[in-house]
C-alpha cells in the first residue's frame, strides 16, 4: 500500500532505474501503473527524488495526448508491503511486513505491454499495420517536438499498448526541454542500439542536435517493425566498444545502414515510399533526416487508410497478445527475434 491510497499488485516490468507495478486506487477502484525508483541501484534520496520530479514535471508541462502515457500522481511516501523472508528457513515461504520510503509516479496503465514484446515473440508487422501504429507514434513525437521537448530514448520497450492496442509513448525520464537553447548536447542519452551515430560519437567538441537524434531512434523502431532487426552498418564501420566512453557503441558518421540477405527479401515486398522514408530517417548525416512534420507529410504516411483499419489492427494485435499469453501459460518453446 502506498500513501494509504494505492494498493499494489503484480510486477509489470523492470527498467534501468525503476520497477513498474499494477495498482488500484482504493478510493475509486481505478487501475493504474505505479513506477517506483529502484532501491537496489544505490541511488541517494536526492537522486531518487530528482528522477521522479524530472519525469513528473515533463509530463505536467506537456499535457495530455492520446498517444502519450498520461500522468496521474507523483510523490515520496512510505510504502508498506510483504517481503519474503528466507533467513530462518530457505525452503519455507515466510513473509514479513516491510515499510520503507519510496519515490513513485502513478501513470495510466497500459495493460497490453510493450511493442517490443510483440515484435520479439510474434514477429514483424506488415506494411499497413506498421504504418498505422507508426502514425500514432509520430503523433506523440510531433506533440513533444512542437512544444520544444525531445524524448531522447525512443525505443520499442518504451512504446506501450493500452487495452485497445493504441500506441502510448512512455518513459519521459530523460526527456529534455530545448526551449531557449541551441538544441545541442555533448553527452550521450538513450539506449545504445537506438542511438544515432552522432550521439554515440559525441563529446564536448562534437555536440549533436537533439531533434535529428530523436528521428534516428524513430527510424530504428520503424526498421524493427518492418524487418524484425536493427539496421546494420557497413562492414568498414562496425560498432566497437570504447573504454573511454563507458563501453557505448561508436559508429563512424560516414557509414550508412545496409540490409542483410533476409531483410532484402522482405524489402522486395515493401513499397518504394516506405523504403524511401526509412532510408531518410536512418541517414548517417543528421542534417539529411526529415523533421517530424516532414515525416508525417511524407507520401508513405499521407496515404489514406482502409475504412476498417482500426478493427483490422485491433484484431491482429489481440491475436498476437493471446498467442503470447498462451506461450507464457504452457512455457513451450517459441519463435523469438533477438532484440537484446
Known catalytic residues are 153
Measure CA of the first residue to CA of the last residue in the chain; give whole Å.
33
Alpha helices in 108-169 (DSSP H): 115-122, 127-146
Instruction: Please report the sign of the dihedral spanned by the C-alpha atoms of residue 173, residue 278, residue 336, residue 325.
Output: positive
Rounded CA gap, 145 and 59, in Å?
13
Long-range contacts of 315-321 (CB under 8 A, 24+ apart): 316/129, 317/112, 317/118, 317/161, 317/165, 318/165, 320/118, 320/121, 320/122, 321/112, 321/113, 321/118, 321/165
Of 175, 160, 195, 172, whose CA–CA distance to 321 is shortest? 160
Backbone angles phi, psi at 266, to 5 degrees: -65, -40
Q: Which three cell numbers stand for residue 191?
A: 539506449
- Cβ count within 10 A of residue 267: 14
- Please provide residue 237's backbone torsions phi and psi, each rounded to the nearest 5 degrees: -135, 45
Pairing of strands 240-241, 249-250: antiparallel
191: number of Cβ within 10 Å: 18
CA proximity to 106, closest of 82, 75, 79: 75
Half-sphere CA count of 115, side-chain side, radius 13 A: 27
Task: List, in order, residues 6 or more apart from 326 with CB less than 8 Å away.
Answer: none
Amino acid at each position: 500500500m502506498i500513501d494509504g491510497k494505492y494498493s499494489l499488485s503484480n510486477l509489470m516490468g523492470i527498467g534501468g532505474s525503476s520497477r513498474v507495478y499494477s495498482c488500484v486506487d482504493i478510493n475509486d477502484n481505478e487501475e493504474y501503473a505505479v513506477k517506483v525508483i529502484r532501491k537496489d541501484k544505490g541511488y541517494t534520496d536526492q537522486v531518487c527524488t530528482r528522477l521522479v520530479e524530472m519525469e513528473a514535471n515533463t509530463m505536467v508541462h506537456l499535457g495530455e495526448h492520446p498517444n502519450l502515457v498520461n500522468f496521474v500522481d507523483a510523490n515520496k511516501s512510505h510504502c508498506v508491503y510483504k517481503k519474503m523472508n528466507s533467513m530462518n528457513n530457505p525452503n519455507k515461504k515466510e513473509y514479513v511486513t516491510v515499510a520503507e520510503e519510496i519515490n513513485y509516479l502513478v501513470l495510466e496503465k497500459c495493460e497490453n505491454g510493450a511493442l517490443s514484446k510483440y515484435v520479439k515473440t510474434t514477429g514483424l508487422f506488415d506494411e499497413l499495420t506498421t504504418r498505422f501504429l507508426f502514425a500514432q507514434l509520430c503523433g506523440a513525437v510531433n506533440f513533444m517536438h512542437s512544444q520544444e521537448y525531445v524524448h531522447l530514448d525512443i525505443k520499442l520497450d518504451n512504446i506501450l499498448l493500452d487495452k485497445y492496442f493504441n500506441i502510448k509513448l512512455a518513459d519521459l525520464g530523460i526527456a529534455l526541454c530545448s526551449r531557449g537553447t541551441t538544441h545541442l548536447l555533448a553527452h550521450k542519452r538513450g539506449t545504445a542500439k537506438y542511438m544515432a551515430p552522432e550521439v554515440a560519437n559525441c563529446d564536448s567538441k562534437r555536440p549533436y542536435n537533439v531533434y535529428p537524434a530523436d528521428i534516428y531512434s524513430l527510424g530504428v523502431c520503424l526498421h524493427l517493425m518492418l524487418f524484425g532487426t536493427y539496421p546494420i552498418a557497413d562492414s568498414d564501420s562496425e560498432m566497437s566498444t570504447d573504454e573511454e566512453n563507458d563501453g557505448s557503441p561508436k559508429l563512424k558518421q560516414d557509414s550508412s545502414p545496409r540490409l542483410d540477405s533476409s531483410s532484402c527479401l522482405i524489402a522486395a515486398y515493401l513499397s518504394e515510399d516506405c523504403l524511401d522514408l526509412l532510408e531518410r530517417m536512418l541517414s548517417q548525416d543528421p542534417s539529411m533526416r526529415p523533421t517530424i512534420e516532414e515525416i508525417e507529410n511524407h507520401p508513405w504516411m499521407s496515404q489514406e487508410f482502409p475504412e476498417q483499419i482500426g478493427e483490422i489492427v485491433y484484431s491482429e494485435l489481440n491475436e498476437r497478445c493471446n498467442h503470447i499469453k498462451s506461450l507464457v501459460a504452457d512455457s513451450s518453446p517459441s519463435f523469438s527475434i533477438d532484440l537484446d
